[in-house]
Amino acid sequence: MLLGGRKLPSLISSQSQLASRLCMSLLGAYLSVVTACASAPTPVVSGPAPLPVAAAPVQNPALLPAARRTPIVDAVARTAPAVVSVLSEEPPKANPFGFLGLENSEDGQPGRVALGSGVIVDPRGFVVTNEHVVAGAARIRVQLADGRELPAALVGSDQAFDLAVLQFEPGAQKVTAVEMGRSADLLIGETVIAIGNPFGLSHTVTTGVISALHRTVRTSRRVYEDFIQTDAAINPGNSGGPLLNILGQLIGINTAVHAGGAGIGLAIPVDRVRAIVSDLVNLGRVRRGWIGIRPALYPDRRLRGVPIAEVESKSPAERAGIRAGDVVLALAGQPTPSATAYRQMAEQLLVGQTVIIRLAKRDVQLVVDAADPAYVSSLVRRRFGIEVSEANGRAVVVKKIQGESAAAQAGLQVGDLILQVGARTVRDVVSFESAFEQLHSGMDIILLVVRNATSFYITIPMI
């Protein structure tokens, strides 16, 4: 049989040879691919292949930070060097077995170290912090922003206002002091900055706003007036650190955080801080304000406000025309619904402060004065019925007690030593009388007394 002019077997043979060569060629290519795949590492695939990300374009380093520099960044940069960590070391615990000649693991060991914050207010090394940060400390140190740790001395402190002033020796290197601002014109909602040492994390910066002004805070021991409230995070260790405005100026000293929840921080206004620090640095104590008003102990409940029982002679209240029988509705902008409320507010008044007293029929403005030492002495004799004298710089000794006085009725005797009035330690007549500057009628006075080598407490109502 012919096909296309060729014999069929010859054509088949030629095609078979061609197919055979093609198969061998394909087999060789397949084997090459298999061999290459076997020798290559097996890729690990965990998901879609990542998209290529282009690197950020190179920018001018001199321009990049400026674009992100906000007023808060500037304020922190200026103020952070003035913020210090305060380390207060408590006295070592006494050995309860010392009288047996035994030792324990605490012998010769330092006491517990408490951490707080502070702010330098004067380049001579004056630091402001909270009184509770350094209360009872045997040794105080401050750690500066540059890492230096220096010993500090307690210049003065006041428990009622919870403020203390320390001083360290800056040496040859200059230190940065914070710029003092004002708290009289603060605005609710304005941005504030807190810097401190929470949980030992030095120079921690938090921000927030002023949530409220003139807050009253009640604790188990006393009432604190006129706090700044902020939602800037304030934690243990922040106490004593600065609260700043957006310009980096000091507007308050961070003091506490509300136990009821986060976001309620409290700070002492700087206007109050300035007056207290001035007294502590110059006098070693805070002069209590005196306006000369004694409220009625048992006012008529039908009245709105506090009736005045007595106006002291030559007092700011008398000079302003206030008389016994007037009714006080508000003091320094705060309502006075009771005699207790009035006394608590009066305790917070500072010498030189201008206050407005709202009476039932008019408003009266006066300048708070300092109680004259002679006046305080006469007040103690008249209401307390006692005269004292020095006792070797460690206490005062009772030298005279008026018959039928509050002191006599409470059991105080001539020759008793008085070591403490309320929370204040007494070392001489000046410290004894200054302790009475903050006492008001209706208060219970607690005295620490020593008689015949035995110490005990006496409680006396001050009429």
Enzyme catalytic residues: 132, 162, 239
CA distance linking residue 336 with residue 358, whole number of Å: 10
Which burial class, exposed, middle or buried, applies to 90 when counting CB atoms under 10 A from its CB (0-12, 13-18, 19+)? middle
Determine contact, residues 255/215, Cβ cutoff 8 Å: no
Six-digit token string for 179: 């710029």
DSSP string, 313-381: TT-HHHHTT--TT-EEEEETTEE--SHHHHHHHHHT-BTT-EEEEEESS-EEEEE-EEPPHHHHHHHII
Six-digit token string for 409: 């009725």
Question: Which parts of 2-91 fold into alpha helices (H)?
Answer: 8-39, 64-68, 71-79
Query: What long-range pairs does 392-401 form, CB within 8 A, spacing at least 24?
Result: 393/427, 393/428, 394/419, 394/427, 395/419, 395/426, 395/427, 395/450, 396/426, 396/428, 396/429, 396/432
Six-digit token string for 246: 């957006």
CA distance linking residue 139 with residue 127, whole number of Å: 15
Determine contact, residues 239/129, Cβ cutoff 8 Å: yes
Backbone φ and ψ for 324, nearest 5 degrees, come out as -60, 140
Which burial class, exposed, middle or buried, applies to 245 when counting CB atoms under 10 A from its CB (0-12, 13-18, 19+)? buried
CA distance linking residue 211 with residue 425, whole number of Å: 37
Q: In sequence order, what are the residues at sequence separation of 6 or more whose Cβ sits closer than 8 angstroms to the Cβ of residue 185?
A: none
- Which neighbouring-strand residues pair with 7? 2
